[in-house]
Amino acid sequence: MEELQKQNQELSERLKKASTIYKEQKAENLRITTERDELKARLEKYEEQIKVLESKNAKNEEKNTEFFDLLDNIDSLNEKVEEYKNSIDTLNEEKTELQQKNQDLENAIDSLEKSQQEYKKQCTKLIEAISNTIEEQTKTLNTSISNIIKEAGI
């Protein structure tokens, strides 16, 4: 009987450990999901910034055309053209940086999603292993009880 209580106690401790691991994995999954959602929000923000920069870039290009039509003085015109070229270059650099950040965020999201899937797989395997162990120990316990009853002649 003490052996059964001991086995029952061991099973109970294992179940508590498995429950703790499950809760930790669930919390980790929540953290990953939250981080993924934050990254997606940042990604959307960067995409909006890219759109704004593209709009500004288009407006600057229109202004360049307007200056060609409006300015009489060639020196003044050349100075303005240079200013706008520099601003376009700056905007293009910013656009390139934002596109790189966008790509980095997409890669981070992919990585987080893969990690989340891996954590789910690990949890499932752990739960299956615990279930199998409990089944095996239950069978062993039932066999032991049967043997005790047979030996006792009951």
71: pLDDT strictly greater than 60: no
What is the secondary structure of 18-60 as a DSSP string?
HHHHHHHHHHHHHHHHHHHHHHHHHHHHHHHHHHHHHHHHHHH
What pLDDT, on the 0 to 100 scale, is given for residue 69? 67
What pLDDT, on the 0 to 100 scale, is given for residue 4? 83
What pLDDT, on the 0 to 100 scale, is given for residue 126? 92
Task: Note the pLDDT tens digit of each residue in 56-70.
Answer: 989 988 887 776 666
Task: Note the pLDDT tens digit of each residue in 108-128.
Answer: 999 999 999 999 999 999 999
Give 79 or 111, the one with higher predicted confidence.
111
What pLDDT, on the 0 to 100 scale, is given for residue 8? 87
What pLDDT, on the 0 to 100 scale, is given for residue 57? 86
Q: What are the structure tokens assigned to 134, written together?
A: 């409990």
pTM > 0.75: yes or no: no
At 140, the pLDDT band (50, 70, 90 cuts) reads very high
What pLDDT, on the 0 to 100 scale, is given for residue 66? 74
154: pLDDT strictly greater than 80: no
Burial of 105 (0-12, 13-18, 19+ CB in 10 A): buried
C-alpha atoms less than 13 angstroms from C-alpha of 27 in its C-beta half-sphere = 6
What pLDDT, on the 0 to 100 scale, is given for residue 61? 85
